[in-house]
Structure 1
């Protein structure tokens, strides 16, 4: 699929080990905990307080000329359209990225080669052991948690997202959607009744072709767009479509994929402000596509303490960042 000379997990792990040793990347292991929504959905907040000290002095494209120390491989190895590179500031071990060779836009529609390469990475990663899995995610638009305009998708090894007994009872959220959600008999779209925000997913019943991936992605995006249009029409002044000149899409969304399926969540806010009982601000919790992994990251100790001590706060965050479920957003 990818034409690699070595197993993908070995390529990524060996590069990660050497890059960490040379300090080409800065790894900040996180402290994990499990909290649940009022409906019982588990989430894993990660405490990464060291990240709050990292500031870049200027905007640069990290994918224009990636350093050799972080570069993993071209994809495919012959006539490549993409390449794999390590995340320079990972909080999860072996976090890597699939970026386009050409500087395509993160806010444009994903193309067949993006989706095929993503699925190929997922499939190749677990080729030798079905328990060895990846979680892929994509952020697009101002409210999605996206940080780089150069098109890229990100991968986290599921085993690295767990932390022993600390994450007992937690699983990747897209897996929960696909296994515990309800599938519409006519459209095959899957939704989880206990999630407080609109989301749309498809199960993979067999290995999808590139054309099938594109069709599923386009169908899910269309439903995400309809959910946002419905919210705008019923909540005037609360949300606007993005400027869609030169191919930019008019909405923000997160997409996730595993070898089990694909899901999209439309977004209306990048995050949510946590507040003390007296109304003063604690900090702004931002969420990106790891939302569909069932994880969120906090950068300050008081945010971490608030989430663990007041689990209802998780409901508030999830309701604020997505489109609330209504008759229109849940109609398949």
Structure 2
């Protein structure tokens, strides 16, 4: 006798999401289920844009995955989103798998805390059933993400969220199961005296207030608004994705399904979304003597104007020579030739 089919419901973001995230984070941190890594922060300038660099010495001691087994049988990679720890859940996750079958999703998505947090209340929107991180986002992914952003804005004006998505080998992606990540903007400003003039770069990209022209890399921005349908929002996303493909000389085609044809980051704020094509995850960092002391790797938080280093040597080298940050940013995406032309004229 076959088991009854479970209905998969659309994901609904709770109106009191900020309270739920805060309470879950407090519980999980107290129990040790979330690892919170304090950071130092400094503002460096890239083409006059304030860039936030953070240093987390504790992150270097983040638990490493177990070493590969010597057995010849290939082992399936661990998927933290398939059966999430109950202590990390913000909304109900997938139903536990029965003894004779796979996990049963109860809704299309669920929310959980990021186990390794640099900013308090860092949380994740994951698909309940496995969907590839390298495939194009669907309307349900985008509407759920935007609903989280609006929940923060609407709930007693709790603040703004910065959402980001990493896809492809050069994007900073670390998990194969589709998920988007969220950071509270106020939390991102912590530790910076007076914020140093820093604000989320993606906001300026969407507003078109001159940020794009100063970036070392090319980005493509579009506006979104409350009340947009999922398909309308996805239309904006696919338009930006196709522009990113064109910038790399990649044929995007007209199809809007399946695997993306490039590595990219996507960021979303209340005003819109940004897509950045990627060609590298990062680049080397050198000390004053020219010796390599590390590598600055960047994920989708680069679209907020932030980066993270894990060693004191990298931290001191970049603070002592901020131009290296700009050089790394030039190498990770498609070169913004408008910035190059401005710099060339200035050097004449």
Match status 1:254 vs 2:277:
no
Identify the match of residue 207 of structure 2 among 155, 169, 179.
179
Confirm whether residue 34 of structure 1 aligns to residue 61 of structure 2. no
Please tell me whether residue 218 in structure 1 is matched to residue 205 in structure 2: no
Contact kept in structure 1, 2:18 and 2:152, CA below 8 Å: yes
1:141 aligned residue? 168
The alpha-carbon distance between structure 1 residues 25 and 286, as it changes in their structure 2 partners (threshold 3 A), is same
* Shift in alpha-carbon separation, 1:197–1:23, aligned structure 2, 3 A: same
The aligned counterpart of 2:53 is 45
Q: Which residue does the alignment assign to 1:236?
A: none
- Secondary structure of 2:90's counterpart equals strand
Equivalences for residues 123-134 of structure 1 within 5 A? 123-130=150-157, 132-134=159-161
Matched, 1:194 2:202: no
How far is the alpha carbon of 1:164 from its aligned partner?
5.1
RMSD of aligned alpha carbons? 2.5
Contact 2:40/2:191, CA 8 A, preserved across alignment = no
Distance 1:6 1:213, change over 3 A: closer
Pick from 259, 281, 285 the counterpart of residue 292 of structure 2.
281
SS state at 2:213 partner: coil
1:17 corresponds to: 26
The answer to whether structure 1 residue 310 and structure 2 residue 321 are counterparts is yes
Q: CA offset at residue 79 of structure 1?
A: 5.3
CA distance in 1, matches of 2:288, 2:240: 39
Give the C-alpha shift of residue 319 in structure 1: 0.1
Which blocks of at least 5 consecutive residues in structure 2 are unaligned? 1-9, 68-76, 94-104, 339-348
- Specify whether residues 150 and 261 from structure 1 end up closer, same or farther in structure 2 by C-alpha distance, changes over 3 A only: same
- Where does residue 169 of structure 1 map in the other structure? 197
Alpha-carbon shift at residue 200 of structure 1 (Å): 0.4
Answer yes or no: is the 8 Å Cα contact 1:141–1:253 preserved in 2.
yes
Q: Does the CA contact (< 8 Å) of 1:181 and 1:193 recur in 2?
A: no
Which 5+ residue runs of structure 1 have no aligned equivalent? 183-190, 233-240, 328-332
* 1:249 positional shift: 1.9
Cα distance in 1, alignment partners of residues 287 and 106 from structure 2: 54
Structure 2 partner of 1:67: 85
C-alpha distance in 2 between matches for 1:220 and 1:3? 26
Q: Cα offset for 1:82? A: 0.3
Q: Secondary structure at the match of 1:192?
A: helix
Could you tell me whether the CA contact under 8 Å between 2:11 and 2:110 is conserved in 1? no
TM-score (norm 2): 0.82
**For residue 303 of structure 2, what is the aligned residue in structure 1?**
292
Instruction: Answer whether contact 1:2 1:121 (CA < 8 A) is retained.
Output: no
Q: After superposing the two structures, state which structure 1 stretch, 42-51 or 145-154, moved more.
A: 42-51
Alpha-carbon distance between aligned partners in 1 of 2:226 and 2:179, rounded to the nearest angstrom = 25
Q: CA deviation at 1:6?
A: 5.8
What's the TM-score once normalised by structure 1's chain length? 0.86
Per the alignment, in what secondary structure is the counterpart of residue 212 of structure 1? helix
- The count of aligned residue pairs is 305
Counterpart position of 1:263: 274
Kindly provide the CA deviation profile for residues 223-277 of structure 1, in whole angstroms up to 9, marking residues without a partner as x.
00111117x9xxxxxxxx9xxxx93322100000011110000000001111234
- Whether 2:248 is the aligned partner of 1:228: answer yes
